[in-house]
Structure formats: C-alpha cells, structure tokens
Chains A and B, each alone.
Chain A
Amino acid sequence: MNAYSLRRRLMLRFAETPAIGIGMAFALLLASLGLAYHNEDQARAEKVREVQVQARVLAASLAGPLAFDDDAAAHEYIDALKASPDFVAVGAYGADGHLVAGFARAGEPLPRINRVGLPAVRGAELIVTAEVEQGGTRLGSVYLGAATEIWSRRAARYLGIAIVIIMACLLVAVLAAFYASVSAANRRLQAEIAGRQEAEEALHQSQKMEAMGQLTGGVAHDFNNLLMVASSGMELLERTTDPVRRDRLKEGIRQAIERGAKLTQQLLTFARRSPLTPQVLDVRARIRGLQDLLERSLREDIAVEFDFPDGLWPIEVDPSQLDVALLNIAINARDAMPEGGVICIGAHNHPAERDEGDMVHLSVRDTGAGIDPASIEKVFEPFYTTQSVGSGTGLGLSQVYGF
C-alpha cells in the first residue's frame, strides 16, 4: 500500500515535469545518431567491398598485359576506368613493384612502388590494392584510388533528415511540457473541487441551522405550553383527592411530557449533521411525521393541508434533506402570507418519460401574495431575499435548489 502510493506519487511527479518527454526526445536523437553512424559505417564497408571487387576485376584483366609487357593493352584496361569519375588514381605495377601504366587525377600522384596491403583511407581517397595473379604466379599488382564522399557533402545529405528528427524531438519535448502543465492544472482543479465540496457541505449545515433558528421560536413557545400544562396539572394533582380526576390529570401530564419528548427527538434528528444518505421511504408517512414540526414553525393562522392520493409510489431520497427543504418552503410560504392562509402539500405519481425514471411529483402551494416575474428567476439564488435585513438569510430556497 505504502509502496504503491509512493510509486503513484513518483509517477505524478514525473507526469508534472517534462523530464520523461525530454528523455524520450533525447533517446530519439541518440537512436537516430546511432542509426546514422551505423548506416555510414555500412555504406563505407560497402564502398570498400565495391572498390575491392573492381580492383580484383582489373587485376584479372591485367594479368596478361603485365606478364607479357603489353603496355598498350594495360593502358586500354586502365583507360576504361578513366570514364568513371569515382576513380581518381589507377595504377598497374609489374612483378618487381614498379609502375607500368596508370593515371592520377588531381591530388596525390601514383606511388612509384606499389605495396599491396589492406584498404586505407587517405584524405578523401579510398585506396585499395590487389595482387595480379595467374595460376598461383604473382605477375604484379594494381593500385586503385576511389573518391569517397567528402565530409561536407555527406553532412548536406544528412541535414534534411536531421532537421526532421530535431523537429520531432522538439515536438515531443513541447508535448511533454504541455502535458505536464495540463496535468498540474488538473491536480489544482481537483483540489479546488474538493474545497468547493467541503464549502458546500458547510453551507448545507448552516442552512439547516437557519431552519433550526426559525423553528426555535415556535418550539420554545410549544415547550412553554407543555411545561405549563405539566406544572398546572401537578398543582391541581396536589389539591384534589378524587381518584378519577387525579387519573385524568396524570394522563394529561404524561401526554404533555410525551409530546415534549417527541418534539425533542425530532429536533435532535433534524439538527444532526448527516451526509446525504438516500433511502427508500413512503413520502406520505414521512411528511405526516413532519406535521408537528411544521405546525410549530408556522403561525396559528396558517393551516397545513395534505393531499396524498392512495397508491403513491415509495421514493428514494435523503430524508433529512427532504425535511429541511419542505420546512424551508413552508417558512417561505408563511412569510408570504402575513394575513394567514393555507399551505397545501401534495404529491402524485409521475410515470417515466423518455429516458427518465419513474418519479413522484411533490408540490407545495400557498394562498399568499405570489412572486412577481422579475423576482422569480432569482428565488433560488443564494442570499436573495425580499425581507428586511435581520429577518432572513436568503438561503432557504437555495438549499431547496441544491437538494
């Protein structure tokens, strides 16, 4: 695991530096240099072989003229080679090693005495010598000087391909640098996305807290009422001895305490910081369970109605997010109805269309003032609010949108 992550980090580091690309470009350059050297070497060996063959052919044809001092024939054979500009010097030597016939173009003159040896390069000349032999008898030797390609012409020949290779190397290096920079940018982007996600989560939490704040007022009032019921019940309990009345009072106190406990439970559940965990649930039961919480966050002059037909499909949703969204919308509706009114929460099945899946359509409707067309586009913007400073954050509906 450790080794794996280390290797991964190393690879990342490599990807972010153009080292690999530059290395590849260098390797490419080296390979082409090697290839060029190899080619050059082979071409040279081939040239040597070629000239050696020509020297042997010349030696064979000169056997007779050298043996029988036929200078005219020797000249004829040698002059035949004059036609080729490749041969800069050709000489035929007798058995005693002295020059019999030959020619030398510009450059070094023919040696007076020929010494047969291995092919040699003298300046721009490849010199090949061969024995003239017939039937095992040495009759003389030949000397062949062939022009080799001069350095500058060879360089010119390689220049074109060298330019192509260098361009390719540059391209590889540039691509590698580009890839490295893209890779680095990608990593920064990933980090930024992670940061954004964190911030979004924090925002969600704060939105929840906002809803909590809204709730608190109603809940405190409710608790007060419940406590009032309980404490007055206790007082009455102490004053009376009638068992029937005492039982009724005890029942009333227990109910008040139970409602208080339930309320607390709901608040705790709501406030708990929980990640988005979708689960399959019955939307009707869930929203009905929310009724107490809704009533406490709304005013007495606002009634809540439910419109859930039978046979509603179960839905997959994060329950706490659904609660918060509904609460936010309900609070929004409450603020839109200062004179009081009705909030109607309804749902109906929405069968699949095109490539979407089956859905349940959930709607919240109020009897308030409505929203003017200019504002309707902005309702989901964070921090957009029509309320005065201090009475709202403008985050409620943006949470709904995020959900």
Chain B
Amino acid sequence: MAHLTRLLAFAGLLTALSGRAAAADLPLEYAVKASYLYKFAPFVQWPPAAFESAIDPLTICIAGQDPFGKMLDDAVRGQRVNGHLIVVRHIDALRPGVACHILFAGSGAGAEELLHAVAHQPVLTVTDRSRGVAGGMIQFVMVNGRVRFMIDQGAAEESGVAISSKLLGLAVSVVR
C-alpha cells in the first residue's frame, strides 16, 4: 500500500513537472506560430481585388482568443510583403471597411462563426489544432515537438487564394 502511495506520488510529481515544462515551452511555440503566421503571406497570392491599392496594408485578423499577445505585434513590426505593410487587427465580427487577408481563428464560438462567414472570400484562414480549432485552410499541428502545418488546398482555391507550391511542399499533409 505504502508502495502504491509512493508510486502515485511520483506519478503526480512527474505530471506536475511535465506540465510545467509544457507551460515553459508554450511561449516559444506561440512565438514560432506568430512568425509563421506572417511568413505565410509571401507564399500566398491573393486576387488583385483583395487590395484596393498597391500600398494597402496586408491585414492579419485575429478572432476569438488571442494566444500570441505582443509576440505577433513584435514579429510583424516593419515587415512588408510585396510592398504591403503587415498590420494586425483583433476583430470579433466582420465589419464593412475592414479587409482581412489572413484570419487566425482562436478558440471561441465567435471565431468559428467568422471562419464560416469568410469561407467564400479571398481570406487565408489559419487555425490551431492544438487549441482544438479546426477548419482553417492552414492548420498548425505539432509534429515531434516542432510546429508544422496542414494545408487544405481545395478550400483555398475555392476562395480564390493561391498557395505557392513551395509552401505546399513543406506541409505535413495537403488536402486537395
């Protein structure tokens, strides 16, 4: 009995330790995801109508719960893709006059709704599987402790967003 108790205690300690380790890894994982989020932009081509002018900013919209915080703002600061400055916006609903080019749907019911709402608009949707959200054209997954992604090319093509073969080649899986 005492033996069992000790074993349990050890298991509890292990769990606690691994939990702490996971918690420590979290910022790094999300920093990587934040940088990937804006690095998708050069590999993606939007239809010309997606930008009003050549100097229009490229907007990354964050819907639902934001797991990145300041990290994303730091990552995109001063970055340009094809001459478009990258800006980050937090939204809870689609509003006329606010164009989204990349939509990251965090957890939350509103986020999933938004995901459906932009289904036929030229918006690259990104979701994070490890946060239990699915349905984006690009979904972050963890493979061997590394951040990787899956791509739904069919959905992207349907909405008029072209994803470069260079990016497709790096995906762990591609749905056509």
Chain A, range 105-146, C-beta contacts under 8 Å to B = 134-137, 139
Closest residue of B by beta carbon distance from A70: B170
Which residues of the partner chain A approach B83 to less than 8 Å between Cβ atoms?
A: 136
Q: Known contacts A64-B166, A65-B170; is A139 also within 8 Å of B42 by CB? A: yes
B34 to chain A, nearest CB (A): 13
Which residues of the partner chain B approach A69 to less than 8 Å between Cβ atoms?
A: 32, 146
Most buried by A among B83, B148, B170: B170
Which residues of the partner chain A approach B42 to less than 8 Å between Cβ atoms?
A: 63, 67, 134-137, 139
Which residues of the partner chain B approach A137 to less than 8 Å between Cβ atoms?
A: 39, 41-42, 79-81
Which residues of the partner chain B approach A73 to less than 8 Å between Cβ atoms?
A: 169-170
A151 within 8 A of B: no
Closest residue of B by beta carbon distance from A71: B146
A4 within 8 A of B: no
Chain B, range 118-154, C-beta contacts under 8 Å to A = 146, 148-149
When chains A and B are docked, how far (Å) is the Cα of A115 from the Cα of B19?
A: 42
* CB atoms of A64 and B169 under 8 A apart: yes
* CB atoms of B81 and A135 under 8 A apart: yes
Number of A-B contacts (CB under 8 A): 48
When chains A and B are docked, how far (Å) is the Cα of A135 from the Cα of B101?
A: 15
Q: Known contacts A68-B36, A69-B32; is A135 also within 8 Å of B43 by CB? A: yes
* CB atoms of A67 and B81 under 8 A apart: no
B167 within 8 A of A: yes
When chains A and B are docked, how far (Å) is the Cα of A69 from the Cα of B170?
A: 10
A136 to chain B, nearest CB (A): 5
* CB atoms of B170 and A139 under 8 A apart: no
When chains A and B are docked, how far (Å) is the Cα of A134 from the Cα of B166?
A: 10
Q: Known contacts A64-B166, A68-B39; is A136 also within 8 Å of B32 by CB? A: no
When chains A and B are docked, how far (Å) is the Cα of A69 from the Cα of B31?
A: 13
B53 within 8 A of A: no
Most buried by A among B36, B39, B43, B148: B39
Closest residue of B by beta carbon distance from A135: B42
* CB atoms of B43 and A64 under 8 A apart: yes
When chains A and B are docked, how far (Å) is the Cα of A310 from the Cα of B39?
A: 129
B5 within 8 A of A: no
Closest residue of A by beta carbon distance from B38: A137
Most buried by A among B32, B83, B166, B167: B166
When chains A and B are docked, how far (Å) is the Cα of A70 from the Cα of B43?
A: 15
Number of interface residues of A (CB under 8 A): 15
* CB atoms of B167 and A64 under 8 A apart: yes
When chains A and B are docked, how far (Å) is the Cα of A67 from the Cα of B32?
A: 10
Which residues of the partner chain A approach B148 to less than 8 Å between Cβ atoms?
A: 68
Which residues of the partner chain B approach A134 to less than 8 Å between Cβ atoms?
A: 42-43, 164, 166
Which residues of the partner chain A approach B167 to less than 8 Å between Cβ atoms?
A: 64
When chains A and B are docked, how far (Å) is the Cα of A350 from the Cα of B92?
A: 138
Which residues of the partner chain A approach B36 to less than 8 Å between Cβ atoms?
A: 67-68
Which residues of the partner chain B approach A61 to less than 8 Å between Cβ atoms?
A: 166
Which one of B79, B81, B170 lies within 8 Å of A68 (CB-CB)?
B170
When chains A and B are docked, how far (Å) is the Cα of A60 from the Cα of B79?
A: 20
Closest residue of B by beta carbon distance from A62: B166
Per-residue CB proximity of B11-43 to A under 8 Å, as 1/0? 000000000000000000000100010010111
Which residues of the partner chain A approach B170 to less than 8 Å between Cβ atoms?
A: 64-65, 68, 70, 73
Most buried by A among B36, B42, B146, B149: B42
When chains A and B are docked, how far (Å) is the Cα of A278 from the Cα of B18?
A: 137
When chains A and B are docked, how far (Å) is the Cα of A290 from the Cα of B170?
A: 128
When chains A and B are docked, how far (Å) is the Cα of A69 from the Cα of B36?
A: 9
When chains A and B are docked, how far (Å) is the Cα of A137 from the Cα of B39?
A: 8
Chain B, range 84-133, C-beta contacts under 8 Å to A = none
Which residues of the partner chain B approach A65 to less than 8 Å between Cβ atoms?
A: 170
Chain A, range 63-81, C-beta contacts under 8 Å to B = 63-65, 67-70, 73
When chains A and B are docked, how far (Å) is the Cα of A134 from the Cα of B45?
A: 11
Which residues of the partner chain A approach B169 to less than 8 Å between Cβ atoms?
A: 64, 73
Chain A, range 27-62, C-beta contacts under 8 Å to B = 60-61
When chains A and B are docked, how far (Å) is the Cα of A68 from the Cα of B148?
A: 8
Per-residue CB proximity of B60-95 to A under 8 Å, as 1/0? 000000000000000000011111000000000000
When chains A and B are docked, how far (Å) is the Cα of A69 from the Cα of B43?
A: 15
* CB atoms of A139 and B81 under 8 A apart: no
When chains A and B are docked, how far (Å) is the Cα of A136 from the Cα of B45?
A: 12
Which residues of the partner chain A approach B166 to less than 8 Å between Cβ atoms?
A: 60-61, 63-64, 134
Closest residue of A by beta carbon distance from B42: A135
Closest residue of A by beta carbon distance from B168: A64
When chains A and B are docked, how far (Å) is the Cα of A73 from the Cα of B172?
A: 12
When chains A and B are docked, how far (Å) is the Cα of A139 from the Cα of B36?
A: 12
Which residues of the partner chain A approach B81 to less than 8 Å between Cβ atoms?
A: 135-137
B50 to chain A, nearest CB (A): 14
* CB atoms of B39 and A139 under 8 A apart: yes
Q: List 7 A-B contacts (CB under 8 A).
A: A63-B43, A64-B166, A67-B39, A68-B36, A134-B42, A134-B43, A139-B42
Interface residues of B (CB under 8 A from A): 32, 36, 39, 41-43, 79-83, 146, 148-149, 164, 166-167, 169-170
13 further A-B contacts with Cβ under 8 Å, apart from A135-B82, A137-B41, are A60-B166, A63-B166, A64-B167, A64-B169, A64-B170, A134-B42, A134-B164, A135-B81, A136-B42, A136-B83, A137-B42, A137-B81, A139-B39
The 5 closest A-B pairs by CB, nearest first: A135-B42, A134-B42, A64-B166, A137-B42, A67-B39
